[in-house]
Amino acid sequence: MATFFGEVVVAPSRAGVDDDEAAEETLEDQEIRRELEKKREVDVLWSWRAGAAAQGAADEPISCSKLVVAVGHNAAAFLSSFILDSVCWEVVGVVKLWNEWCRTTNTTNVLPTDSFCLFYRLISDPTVLLCQCSCYVAEDQQFQWLEKVFGCMRKEGLQVTILSTCPVAEYKTQESTLTLPSPFLKALKTKEFKEPVCCPLLEQPNIVRDLPAAVLSYCQVWQIPAVLYQCYTDVIKLDTITVEAFKPLLSSEILKSLVKDTSESTKILKKLLTTNEAHNNIYI
């Protein structure tokens, strides 16, 4: 969890575990554990080196000036509607993972309800990357995700923007959450992020969780300028109002140069929602 108001680290404990009981793990148990660990490995498959002349260059870190990470269906739909354009962007990476809550698809042709994690590169400026992550990355998989994604990028000159959503019921305030104008945005940033933010900062004692918190914490440790924009909403499914709550970010320094013709954005968003509804009806 990331707060940057002051971190509390809980040391691992073996309380309640008998040494003899731990030693009694059978060979079969060990094999099952190894297989489960292997199954939970996170694989990041990059394709941006396709056509490169030097095979050895594939291991060299690439220059990346901007990375936008959208976590969750609504944040991903925001990028699809207002930023991504098949003419200007190309898929250069996919994350494959499995856990109790999701299994990513093996295709880049995804539905809004699919579990997926795709990386896009701006064709006119290959140093700009977008990530749409609609799959749940479990706590024990987050470190792998961070190491394998950021491990291939040069951290010098990198700036990161994270978009995510959260239930408004988790927002801590002295006021009643029933009177809050949901959805609304709050921001949390690293010390190195010096640009103006597009909404009020997240107040204490609020925290952020899961992959957005992991990415922001990673950037804090590596002194990478980063900002997280979290949308608090009372709708948990893909929703027009929640997606459009991110629109103030289109004027931010990192996104304003990436905005496509917004005249088609509403149409694209409606198409995403229609596809989502049709997909849900199949399983009702």
Q: List, for residues 174-199, the tens digit of each pLDDT value.
A: 877 677 788 999 999 999 999 999 99
Place of tokens 């095979």: 55
- List the single range of 8-12, 19-23, 224-228, 278-282 with lowest mean pLDDT: 278-282
Instruction: Give me the phi and psi of 239, to 5 degrees please.
Output: -145, 135
| Residues 62-94 as b or e (16 or more Cβ within 10 Å = b) | bebbbbbbbbbbbbbbbbbbbbbbeeebeebbb
Predicted confidence (pLDDT) per residue in 49-100, tens digit: 544 433 444 568 889 999 999 999 999 999 999 999 888 999 999 998 888 8
Q: Phi first, then psi: what are they for 159, rounded to 5°?
A: -130, 135
- Residues 252, 68: Cα–Cα separation, whole Å: 12
Which of 6-15, 89-98, 181-190, 212-221 is the least confident region? Answer: 6-15
- Could you give the CA distance from residue 125 to residue 90 in angstroms, rounded to a whole number? 11
Cα torsion 248, 249, 250, 256: sign: positive
List % helix, strand, coil for the chain (3-state, nearest 5): 35, 20, 45
- The domains of the chain, with CATH numbers, are 39-50+60-278 (3.40.50.10900)
Mean pLDDT of the chain: 82
What's the token pair of residue 184? 């609304």
HSE-up (13 A, CA, CB side) for residue 223:
2
The pLDDT value recorded for residue 58 is 53
pLDDT tens digits for range 102-154: 777 666 666 555 678 999 999 999 999 999 999 999 999 999 999 999 998 99
Q: What are the start-end ranges of the H helices in the chain?
A: 19-23, 27-39, 73-82, 139-150, 210-221, 240-244, 265-282
